A = this chain, B = another copy of it.
Amino acid sequence: MMADRHDELLRLLRSRADWRAEELAERLEVSTRTILRDLNRLRDRGFEVSAMSGPGGGVHLEPSSVMVTSQLAGDDVVALVLSVAIAQSMPWMPFASGANDALAKIEASLPFGRARQLQDLMMRILIGKPSSASMRREGRIDPLLARVFETAFSQQHLLGFGYHDRQGNRTQRVAEPHGLLVRAPMWYVIAWDTNADEQRLFRADRISSPHILADQFVPRPHELLRDIAPDASAHFVR
């Protein structure tokens, strides 16, 4: 959404005194024109954005400018919790323990219904030990996959994709993405394979051309996940 970009833009402007419009454009992955338009909208909203032309010039936000009141959306909280969980799957990172406090505060202030909903999602996510050394050399993960998985996972849609196994056989799959197993830096889809009619783990970097199917699935009770947890010496997020 556009509002998100404005928040992001404000954050950048506050984080450093001077920016060139082009830099901002690169950061936010939009054209320079759009940035200039956004800056005007911020001005309309009452922020004091000054700018200097020419070499050494740039855009600058007056620190005194107004404050924004924003809200964390449901997805935002999921993303935060997951990120923190991943970071903490590594031992003894500085500042990592503080993140729990932060999350606790955030969760505490969530309305009940939303907290419940969040909990349901979290119950489907497992954090395992960081993956083994050899995994480092394996193939890249399809940039599309993350996004496609996100929606299929959280909206309970069937997921179609191509999969190549250890032997290099490429097959076409349709699966119900019930869970997510993270073994940094790799991750797996915990799924029910509707072709083979059995539970399966699909490794992210072996998935190609993922797409969401129209059909939805019924979230199974946690049998699937319970089976996997001890195997991968994994634990639920919270």
Contacts and interface: CB of A to CB of B under 8 A. Distances in A.
A108 to B, nearest CB: 5
A90 interface: yes
A88 interface: yes
B72 A68 contact: yes
Contacts of A182: 93
A106 B141 contact: no
A94 B180 contact: yes
Contact of A101 (B4, B16, B98): B4
Interface residues of A, number: 92
Interface of A: 1, 3-4, 7-8, 10-11, 14-16, 41, 44-48, 62-65, 67-80, 82-84, 86-116, 119, 122, 130, 132-134, 136, 140-143, 145-147, 149-150, 153, 180, 182, 184-185, 187, 204, 238
